[in-house]
């Protein structure tokens, strides 16, 4: 939780700084505007970049800060209440659904990949996966033992497959661009 929180918060912070600079100077070129396909500026300024009427990265700053605080509490030996784990799981589920909506928007509407956004995708999926695994192992969310054993024994393979599907979507969506590079 601490690692995903820190990495996600740093990526959200970097996006916030670049968004602020873009607001102050529309001619500003964020350092993540690398190519016609790999670009943050156009993604941040799109309607998808401010879904709730304010920049999405502000959600990341708050959510990842909370995850860091809870992760530190757990590392220090604090036993979180079942309700808090359920709330964390619900928040992680909301985050992972939102991230997948953003993936679809990036690939098929905006036709761009924002590198910092992709970092947020990766850590949000990992956070969701491992919070869910913890909730299953601790019986916070009860499932049949057989299901738990399969998930526990293959958790890293399932996560790798999840990332692999997203990587294949990115590769195939922009294959004509990637294959044209020298």
**pLDDT digit string (tens) for 105-142?**
999 999 999 999 999 999 999 999 999 999 999 999 99
Angle (nearest 5°) at CA 85 between 79 and 86: 150
pLDDT digits (tens, 9 = 90+) for 146-179: 999 999 999 999 999 999 999 999 999 999 998 8
Instruction: Evaluate whether 60 touches 120 at the Cβ level (below 8 Å).
Output: yes
Using DSSP, state whether 145 is helix, strand or coil.
helix
The angle subtended at Cα 85 by Cα 84 and Cα 88, nearest 5°, is 85
Query: Does residue 113 contact residue 171 with C-beta atoms inside 8 Å?
Result: no
Domains, the chain, in order of start with CATH, read 2-177 (1.20.1440)
Model confidence pLDDT, tens digit, residues 5-34:
999 999 999 999 999 999 899 899 999 999
pLDDT tier, 182 (very low <50, low <70, confident <90, very high otherwise)? confident
Per residue in 64-81, pLDDT (tens digit) is 999 999 999 999 999 999
d(CA 60, CA 62): 5
Exposed / middle / buried, residue 45 (Cβ in 10 Å: 0-12, 13-18, 19+)? middle
């Amino acid at each position: 939780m601490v690692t995903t929180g820190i990495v996600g918060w740093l990526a959200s912070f970097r996006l916030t700084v670049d968004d602020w600079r873009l607001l102050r100077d529309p001619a500003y070129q964020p350092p993540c505007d690398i190519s016609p396909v790999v670009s943050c500026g156009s993604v941040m300024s799109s309607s998808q970049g401010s879904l709730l009427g304010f920049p999405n990265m502000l959600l990341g700053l708050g959510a990842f800060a909370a995850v860091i605080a809870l992760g530190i509490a757990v590392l220090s030996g604090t036993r979180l209440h079942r309700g808090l784990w359920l709330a964390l799981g619900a928040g992680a589920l909301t985050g992972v659904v939102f991230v997948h909506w953003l993936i679809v928007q990036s690939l098929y509407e905006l036709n761009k990949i924002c590198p910092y956004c992709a970092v947020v995708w990766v850590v949000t999926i990992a956070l969701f996966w491992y919070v869910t695994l913890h909730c299953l192992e601790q019986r916070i969310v009860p499932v049949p033992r057989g299901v738990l054993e399969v998930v526990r024994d293959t958790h890293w393979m399932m996560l790798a497959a999840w990332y692999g599907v997203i990587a294949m979507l990115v590769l195939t969506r922009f294959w004509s661009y990637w294959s044209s590079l020298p």
